Amino acid sequence: MPGKWDWLKDEIGFSNLLTGGKMLLKVISGKLSVDDLTKCALCPNMCRHTCPVSIVDGRETTSPAGKARVAFMIREGRLELNLENLEPLYMCLSCNICTLYCPFEFSVADLTRPINEEAVKKGVVFEEFKKVFENLENYGDVYGAKSEEENGKGKVLYIRGCTIRNELPELSEKALSLLKKLGFEVFTINETCCGIPAYNLGNVELFKKLADENAKKINQSKAELVITSCPSCAYAYRVLYPKYGVKLKPKVVHITEILGDRLKGLKAEGEVTYHNPCKLALGLDQKELLKDILNKIEGLTVKEPRKEFFCCGYGGSAISRLNPELAEEIAQERRKQLKDGADKVITACPSCKLALNSDELEVLDIVEFAHQLLGE
Amino acid sequence: MLDEIMKKSKPKNIENAIKKLSEKLGNKKISIKPADLFSYSHDYWLITFHWLLQGKVPAFPDVVVWPESREDVVEIVKIAHEEGVPVYPYGGGSGVLGGAIPEYGGIVVDVKRMRSVQVHEEDLVVEAETGINGHYLEEYLNKRGYTLGQIPQSLYPSTLGGWIATKAIGQFSTKYGGIEDMLLGIEAVIPPGKIVELKPHPRTATGPDLRKLFVGSEGIFGIITKAWLKIWPYPEERFLMSFASETLEDALDSVRRILRRGAKPAVVRIYDKIETKRHFYKFDEMYGKVGTVIIVEGDPKIARTEKEIVEEEFKGKPMGEEPVKHWLETRFIVKEVSEFAPLGVVIDTIEVAVNWSNAAKLYYNVVNAMKSVKGVLFASAHASHFYPQGVCFYFTFAGLPPKNVSATEFYNQVWDKAMKATLESGGTISHHHGIGRHRAKWLAEELDGAYELLKKIKHVIDEKNIINPGNMGV
Ligand SMILES: Cc1cc2nc3c(=O)[nH]c(=O)nc-3n(C[C@H](O)[C@H](O)[C@H](O)COP(=O)(O)OP(=O)(O)OC[C@H]3O[C@@H](n4cnc5c(N)ncnc54)[C@H](O)[C@@H]3O)c2cc1C
Ligand code: SF4
Ligand code: SF4
């Protein structure tokens, strides 16, 4: 079989080799290449249609390539590193849906993050973020709530995460009862935020500090398995910590991952659709998991939403703080897409549930749904 | 810190206009932030990315506005007209000829927040605001069992308004046509801030077809705010076919005969030998030949008959479904500019149309003309859209400017050769990308006396010359 670039070698020919074709040959042999941010800045936005921010906000500046172009100009010193110019870079949900369609498999969030990190290092930080950093520094909790709980010990550690502890405590009750029914002896500890909000907002140092604290607590608990209710926590533990050299001894799973076949054979009625949490579906690469679990339930009609992947609007920590109206508009758009599937939605993330549940749409976490099916 | 290369002037009354905009629309819908002005200083005209890499932009607007309704658009056009400040409609910014560049400063109007959509199933009509994203619209229809059949390669970044304004066309055009064939009704705002609404009918004989005035208008008559378009039931059957022919002429003639018999395969693409090698190198038997991919789709009975016609008429070795599947999988991969432009390689594509009788001649003339420019590394083409009367050739060139020749000079030299060769070979200088600011210099020659007519019409609609001034050279 001829090679990918043989056509070009044939075309360039000998005479052109002397003038400039040589350089091209270096490119095609991989000896010379362009850096990723520049590549993205030059792209015609081939993932714009998948980016929830871009579809809803409509601003070129916050489109995927638009953000890359602003980041590029900041990096090149052509635009100043100030809050006004940073604002579009933070209009990102860190959902990585762009990666699915990008010919280079880029994540815009990853490409622009170095700029945000540099800004934090230099103290160029939005007021809205300072409060988050303070809460995390002082209480190890995004909401700034103090946790008094004792640290337990055992084999299976259940971690609720900040959102459930602060906003949906009933979900943790249900999760504990569900896990018990499924045969897991679980314990809890005095939790510290996994650090993902700090990471999302560009504060790597704080993120690392929280990661170390988590690792210490979790490793000391002697757990062999960690089950989280929040996909972002599982993503931080499983994907981000290793990247930053932080070691967790136990295996980490999101609660949906252990439901797997365990709901098979249960019976239900009616129609549901599903909302894939970005960090579960894309972050942990479980694109089909939620749909598969639902499809195994007898008697349940599972309808596909209009878009398989679309963030609820509250991912990434920045938009909901800097531009809550945009977050709500994205949630509203997602509700419409889900309603094209069904009026009842199953998801697997407390933040997605909070974002999407509304008068016109009933949104249940898979834990609540399973809990119902198993008989409350 | 970012120099402007194309800026002609700054509107005198801009401060007044901005003040009025903020009073009428509120500050949330407008911006004068540097990052926003930068984002709207260009579209996807490729040579301008060589400028961007050097910290130069085509031209900054003074303000960007994001209307949320046609009433907002009316206010904007009114203010612009009163103050004599230019307005530039902006969609997805995927236009490749500089048509959205705010050359004279002023107001960029991005309509992407206007994206409502609704289907009228019995009438087979979709009604949508023009800021709607192309892929979003198609997916919305597919979910309901329909298709618009408009699948340009820029489906992901572009908008409905941009399609109408540039007279865009999709990969499935041989069956579904271009945007002009789909458009039934249109709503637009023209100076001094008036709504023109032409309602959708199956057909109407109510004087000259004014809807068509906006097709290919490239934002010089007004801002298109809504459209009604024909839709089709989602195809039930799809056949994938491909062929390897000995010569380009064999493949072209095959398609000519297929269309003469009334068959309408949705997709037909004939790649010259270079592009066959480039795109289908994994298929040994196609290498060194002229490759063609064809998709026939629609109602199963009709599609089967069309497939038979293709098989009867095609002069070339059948290559089966795999090359077509490969094309389907790779058709939205766009990487070349990202990979090569930063290294100084100048790349672009040029699409022209020609009648069958001149088709092969035009192909050779244009390829040779481009290759005659010093520094051009390759020039190639595929035929991408077909009619019983003729064909669209989509040329690609890449090159490295010789010493002492700037990227822009080199780029213009190649374009000039290609445009002149097209005109001399009896072709038209654009099949679907349009004119924009770049192609304006060849438009007068092509339109001849009709160019004056275009200018007159522009003047009657927009007497103060505030709507996308300078675009298409009018
Ligand atoms: C990778 C790539 C592939 C492409 N493939 C194709 C293809 O297959 N077929 C094809 O036809 N084209 C193609 N194009 C060209 C381009 O995508 C089309 O011209 C498209 O229609 C532009 O739409 P847009 O929304 O991006 O418009 P923009 O680039 O924003 O604007 C284009 C022009 O239309 C005007 N305009 C935009 N919106 C409005 C409005 N609402 N009212 C009035 N005027 C308006 C602007 O002022 C400007 O003059 C491609 C471009 C790229 C980058
Ligand atoms: S992430 Fe990929 S597809 Fe999206 S704009 Fe960047 S390069 Fe293009
Ligand atoms: S990570 Fe999500 S929000 Fe950010 S650019 Fe990609 S798709 Fe858009």
Q: What is the pLDDT of residue A295?
A: 95
Query: Tens digits of per-residue pLDDT, B170-214?
Result: 999 999 999 999 999 999 999 999 999 999 999 999 999 999 999
**In this model, does residue A22 exceed pLDDT 80?**
no
* CB contact A306 to B (< 8 Å): yes
In whole angstroms, give the CA distance from residue B183 to residue B200.
8
Residue A147 pLDDT = 77
CA–CA gap between residue A122 and residue B304 (Å, rounded): 66
Average pLDDT, rounded, for chain A: 94
Instruction: Please check the confidence at residue A236 and state whether its pLDDT lies above 90.
Output: yes
For chain B, state the CA radius of gyration.
Answer: 23
CB contact A342 to B (< 8 Å): no
* Ligand 1 atom 4, closest CA: B154
> Does the fold of domain A271-374 match that of domain A6-121?
no
Percent of chain A with pLDDT over 90: 85
- Relative to the alpha carbon of B392, which ligand is closest? 1
pLDDT exceeds cutoff 90 at A13: no
Q: Average pLDDT over chain B, rounded to whole? A: 97
**What value does the mean pLDDT take over residues A90-99?**
98
pLDDT(A263) > 90: no
Whether residue A270 has pLDDT greater than 70: yes
Is the predicted pLDDT of residue A211 greater than 90, yes or no? yes
Is pLDDT of A304 > 80?
Answer: yes
Query: Residue A15 above 80 pLDDT?
Result: no
**3-state SS assignment for residue A302:** strand
pLDDT digits (tens, 9 = 90+) for B408-421: 999 999 999 999 99
Q: Assess whether the C-beta atom of A370 lies below 6 angstroms from ligand 2.
A: no
Mean pLDDT of B298-311: 98
Q: Is B262 on the interface with A (CB under 8 A)?
A: no
Per-residue pLDDT at A19? 65
Six token digits for residue B35: 């990052």
A306-361 residue pLDDT tens: 999 999 999 999 999 999 999 999 999 999 999 999 999 999 999 999 999 999 99
Interface subset of A 5-64, CB within 8 angstroms of B: 6-8, 10-12, 16, 19-21, 23-24, 27, 32-34, 38-50, 55, 57-61
Closest ligand 1 atom to Cα of B222 = 43
Query: Helix/strand/coil (H, E, C) string of chain B?
Result: CCEECCCCCCCCCHHHHHHHHHHHHCHHHEECCHHHHHHCCCCCCCHHHHHHHCCEECCCCCEEECCCCHHHHHHHHHHHHHHCCCEEEECCCCCCCCCCCCCCCCEEEECCCCCCEEEECCCCEEEEECCCEHHHHHHHHHHCCEECCCCCCCCCCCEHHHHHHHCCECCCHHHHCEHHHHEEEEEEEECCCEEEEECCCCCCCCCCCCHHHHCCCCCCCCEEEEEEEECEECCCEEEEEEEEECCHHHHHHHHHHHHHCCCCCCEEEEECHHHHHHHCCCCHHHCCCEEEEEEEEECHHHHHHHHHHHHHHCCCEECCCHHHHHHHHHCCCCCHHHHHHHHCCEEEEEEEEEEHHHHHHHHHHHHHHHHCCCCEEEEEEEEEEEECCEEEEEEEEEECCCCCCCHHHHHHHHHHHHHHHHHHCCCECCCCCCCCCCCHHHHHHHHCHHHHHHHHHHHHHCCCCCECCCHHHC
Question: How confident is the model at residue A14, as a pLDDT?
Answer: 62
Least confident of A256-265, A329-338, B84-93, B345-354: A256-265
**In the structure encoding, which two tokens stand for residue A262, read together?**
């365990």
Pairing of β B290-298 and β B317-318: unpaired
CATH tag for A156-259 (out of 3.40.47.10, 3.30.70.2860, 3.40.50.1860, 1.20.1630.10): 3.40.50.1860
Write down the pLDDT at residue A86. Answer: 98
Would strands B56-57 and B3-4 be described as parallel, antiparallel, or unpaired?
parallel
Radius of gyration of chain A (CA): 23
Structure tokens at A2: 């001829």
Which CATH architecture group holds A271-374? 3-Layer(aba) Sandwich (3.40)
| Stretch among A189-198, A255-264, B101-110, B251-260 having the lowest mean pLDDT | A255-264
Instruction: Give me the pLDDT at residue B246, please.
Output: 98
Residue-wise pLDDT tens digits, B135-175: 999 999 999 999 999 999 999 999 999 999 999 999 999 99
CA distance A59 to A47: 14
Residues B430/B443, Cβ–Cβ less than 8 Å: no
ω into B200 cis (within 30 of 0): no
Which ligand 1 atom is nearest residue B436's CA? Answer: 49
The helix or strand, by DSSP H or E, that contains position A211, with its residue range, turns out to be helix A204-220
pLDDT tens string B204-232: 999 999 999 999 999 999 999 999 999 99
Is this model's pTM higher than 0.90 or not?
A: yes
Between B190 and B2, the more confident residue is: B190
Cβ neighbors of B262 (< 8 A, separation 6 or more) are: none
CA–CA dist A314, A320 (Å, integer): 6
**Measured in whole angstroms, how far is the alpha carbon of residue A362 from the centre of its chain?**
23
- C-alpha dihedral, B113 to A335 to A356 to A326, nearest 10°: 0
Atom of ligand 3 minimally distant from the CA of A50: 7
Reported ipTM exceeds the 0.95 cut: yes
Give the burial class of A358: count Cβ atoms within 10 A of its Cβ; 0-12 exposed, 13-18 middle, 19 or more buried: exposed
Contacts of A107 (CB under 8 A, 6+ apart): A96, A98, A99
| Backbone φ, ψ for residue B113 (5° rounding) | -85, -5
Mean pLDDT along residues B121-136:
98
Q: Which residue has the tokens 């939205």?
A: B332
Residue A17 has pLDDT above 80, yes or no: no
Would you tell me how many other CB atoms lie within 10 Å of the CB of residue B80?
27
Give the model's confidence band at B452: pLDDT under 50 very low, under 70 low, under 90 confident, else very high.
very high
Closest CA to B118 of B236, B233, B227: B227
Tell me how far apart the alpha carbons of residues B332 and B152 are, in angstroms, rounded to a whole number: 9
- CATH number of the domain located at residue range(s) A6-121 in this protein: 1.10.1060
B55 vs A79: CA distance, rounded Å: 10
Tokens describing residue B450 = 């009709």
pLDDT band at residue A262, thresholds of 50, 70 and 90? confident
**pLDDT surpasses 90 at A31:** no
pLDDT digits (tens, 9 = 90+) for B328-385: 999 999 999 999 999 999 999 999 999 999 999 999 999 999 999 999 999 999 999 9
Which-ligand-closest: CA of B338? 2
CB atoms within 10 A of CB B335: 14
pLDDT, tens digit, 9 for 90 and up, residues A103-150: 999 999 999 999 999 999 999 999 999 999 999 999 999 999 987 777
What domains sit in chain B, N to C, each tagged with a CATH number? 3-112 (3.30.43.10), 117-233 (3.30.465.10), 237-330 (3.30.70.3450), 336-432 (3.30.300.330)
Q: Please name which of A256, A245, A327, A320 lies closest in space to residue A285, comparing C-alpha atoms.
A: A256
A12: chain B residues, CB-CB within 8 Å: 377-378
Question: Rounded to whole angstroms, what are the CA distances from A182 to A233, A255, A369?
Answer: 22, 11, 14
Which atom of ligand 3 is least distant from the CA of A67?
5
What are the structural domain ranges in chain A?
A: 6-121, 156-259, 271-374
Tokens 């290092």 -> residue: A121
* Confidence (pLDDT) at A23: 80
Is B110 near chain A, with CB under 8 Å?
yes
Report d(CA B227, CA B114) in Å as an integer: 12
Length of chain A counted residue by residue: 376
Question: Residue B167 and residue B466: Cα distance in Å, rounded?
Answer: 22
Which among B38, B155, B287 has the least Cβ separation from residue A79? B38
- Which two tokens mark B407? 């990227």
CA distance from start to end of chain B: 31
Residues in chain B: 474
HSE of A13, CA atoms in CB hemisphere, 13 A: 10
Beta strands in A160-311 (DSSP E): 186-187, 225-228, 251-254, 271-274, 301-303
Burial of residue A15 (CB within 10 Å: 0-12, 13-18, 19+) is exposed
- Cβ contact, residue pair B155, A24, below 8 Å: no
A87 contacts A323 by C-beta, under 8 angstroms: no
Which B positions 380-399 lie with beta carbon below 8 A of chain A?
A: 380
- Distance of alpha carbon A75 from alpha carbon A256, whole angstroms: 40
Between B336 and A153, the higher pLDDT residue: B336
Q: What pLDDT shows up at residue A29?
A: 80
CB of A280 closer than 6 angstroms to any ligand 2 atom: no
Bridging pattern class, strands B376-387 and B267-271: antiparallel
Instruction: Tell me which chain A residues have a C-beta less than 8 angstroms from the C-beta of B402.
Output: 19
The ligand 1 site (C-beta within 6 Å) comprises A 44; B 43-44, 88-96, 99-100, 111, 130, 152-154, 158-159, 161-163, 165-166, 168-169, 218-219, 223-224, 334, 432-433, 468, 471
CA of A32 to the centre of ligand 2 (A): 20
3-class SS letters over A146-163: CCCCCCCCCCEEEECCHH
Centre a 10 Å sphere on the Cβ of residue A210 and count the other Cβ atoms it contains.
24
The mean pLDDT value for B83-111 works out to 98
